[in-house]
Amino acid sequence: MRSSDDKKELTLSQALEKYGVKKENTVGMKPHKIFDIMIYDDLYSVYSIEGYEHEYGKWNGCPTTWWLDYSKVDPETGVKEERPLIPYIDKGVHRICWGVNYTQKNATKHKWGELDIRSTGVCRITANGKEVYVIRNWDLSSALTSAQTIIEKLISSPYNFLDPEKDRGRKIWYYNLPATVTPGYEPGEIKIHPDYSYVEPDLWWDELERRKTKITQNNKDSIKQGLKVSGSNDEDLDWEINDIPEHKEYGSINHGDALSDGNIWWFRD
């Protein structure tokens, strides 16, 4: 990125005033923010302003209408000091600044009347300074290796880990049942909320229980008859099924890790 030295660029407010009104019989878009980038420890916005072009984009094979608003807020007065826009070149720039912060600790736990000392570790992944995912792993090497893999998954996931609020209320299919999602308790976690817009609550939860029930040699006849079965020799699955009444009363499911989405279809109209 570089600013022009041979002419004074417009400020954001000047550019919005000049190019913000869409002309008749044109297909252009109004000026809009396309993303934020981190410079040092602060976030700055990049705008697309159609009609306002810079030469650096042509020279570098980049969009000519992308501009960085490098205005800063005075920490003492809280007033934003507006600066001229800077031509933005998307080369040699980290669009997302990733961070991996791993901390090891020892913890104690009372077990069978004795004090047990155990090792623990937490790896926190950040994107543009914001925590987006947490890995719990006592081993440093394993945690850092996992972090590399998880960052790739976060980038390619349909869910917006970097700004989960934008996916609040997103329509999904959960076990092929209509539902929505909201951010969970920790970064990277989600809650599932049943969508009762055309499915009655009792039917939704009964169907969830049925679809989570594993069919085995021992219970297949009962399932054929439409009877509920109490166990499937799958501890994790049975634990989920036993928690359904509590989830139903609460009105949502604390799903946890959004990457564990084997039973989620993220695209529902």
Residue 2 located in a structural domain:
no
Distance CA 141, CA 147 (A): 10
The 3-class SS string of 175-216 reads CCEEEEEEECCCCCEEEEEECCCCCCHHHHHHHHHHHHCCCC
The string of pLDDT tens digits covering residues 205-255 is 999 988 887 777 776 676 666 656 555 555 555 556 678 888 999 999 999
Confidence of residue 2 (pLDDT cuts 50, 70, 90): very low
Q: According to the model, what pLDDT value does residue 80 have?
A: 85
Are 169 and 229 within one domain? yes
> C-alpha dihedral over 1, 56, 19, 71, to 10 degrees?
20
Q: According to the model, what pLDDT value does residue 1 have?
A: 44
Q: According to the model, what pLDDT value does residue 223 have?
A: 63
Neighbours of 133 (CB within 10 A): 23
Distance CA 139, CA 239 (A): 28
Residue 137 located in a structural domain:
yes
Residue 37's nearest CA partner among 11, 68, 4 is 68
Are 180 and 255 within one domain? yes
Q: According to the model, what pLDDT value does residue 212 have?
A: 83
Q: According to the model, what pLDDT value does residue 23 have?
A: 56
Total domain count, the chain: 3
The string of pLDDT tens digits covering residues 101-154 is 999 999 998 878 888 899 999 999 999 999 999 999 999 999 999 999 999 999
Q: According to the model, what pLDDT value does residue 231 have?
A: 56
Residue 134's nearest CA partner among 163, 83, 100, 164 is 100
The string of pLDDT tens digits covering residues 10-32 is 999 999 999 887 655 445 678 89
Are 179 and 249 within one domain? yes
Are 143 and 196 within one domain? no
Q: According to the model, what pLDDT value does residue 22 have?
A: 61
Q: Which domain holds residue 108?
A: 98-156
Under 8 Å CB-to-CB from 258, ≥6 apart: which residues? 157, 159, 161, 181, 184, 188, 189, 190
Backbone angles phi, psi at 164, to 5 degrees: -60, -20
Q: According to the model, what pLDDT value does residue 24 have?
A: 55
Q: If you ran DSSP here, which 8-state letter would residue 106 be given?
A: E
Q: According to the model, what pLDDT value does residue 98 have?
A: 97
Are 111 and 76 within one domain? no
Which of 122, 156, 190 is the last residue in one of the domains?
A: 156
Measure Cα distances from 205 to 58, 127, 174, 200, 209 in Å.
57, 36, 11, 9, 6
What average pLDDT does the segment 198-205 reach?
96
Are 138 and 214 within one domain? no
Q: According to the model, what pLDDT value does residue 67 have?
A: 96
Are 145 and 170 within one domain? no
Tokens 């000392």 — which residue?
117
Entry pTM? 0.81
Are 201 and 240 within one domain? yes
Are 176 and 240 within one domain? yes
Residue 3 located in a structural domain:
no
